[in-house]
Amino acid sequence: MSRGTCGVAVLVLALGCEARPPAPIAAGPDKRALYGDPGLVPTRAGERAREELALAGSVAAALRARAEVTALAVEVRLPAAGDPGAAVVAGELSLDVHDVTRIAEGVLGPWSAGRVQVELTPARVGAPERPEAPGSLRWPLALALVGLGASAGVSIERLRQRRARRR
């Protein structure tokens, strides 16, 4: 096998191998997993959690009806003794913070005035998405692999020449 052939073989093998994407971090159980089953024995905490889930779903539905939504998460905490309650809306929407706050407060009612927190990333409406492949090869690595292949080819060729001289 010549030096060039070994170098090309190593490069082809390296380019064909893709790095595995990192394993996703497992999230703990959320409110829906804990209280979402209507077959559970009704408790005050369970009924409160179901009401909060329903309100969060209503806010999410209202936002989806009004705007282009790429990613959305809504969490609602109803007011209780010593806790004024809160609502958090996070995601990627084609609305501004003021409009999202107004819609959420309208769905949640008067207790939510001033208690809605909105964290948005601008929506990429109409922009072509071009995510980087998780296993994409970088140029320095590619050059190092070409060098390694050439080095291996030279070493193999020298071993073949030594064996030919011994015969």
- Cα angle 57, 82, 87 (rounded to 5 degrees) comes to 25
Contacts of 21 (CB under 8 A, 6+ apart): 134, 135
pLDDT tens readout for residues 62-107: 999 988 888 899 999 999 888 899 999 999 988 889 999 999 999 9
Helix residue spans in 17-109 (DSSP H) = 31-35, 44-66, 97-108
CATH number for 3-14+47-125+139-166 (one of 3.30.300.30, 3.30.1360.120, 3.90.180.10, 3.40.605.10): it is: 3.30.300.30
Q: Is the pTM of this model over 0.85?
A: no
Question: Is the pLDDT score of 136 beyond 90?
Answer: no
pLDDT of residue 42: 74
Question: Is-contact 6 156, C-beta < 8 A?
Answer: yes
Concatenated DSSP letters of 125-151: TTPPP-PPPTTPPPHHHHHHHHHHHHH
Any idea where the domains of the chain sit in the sequence? 3-14+47-125+139-166
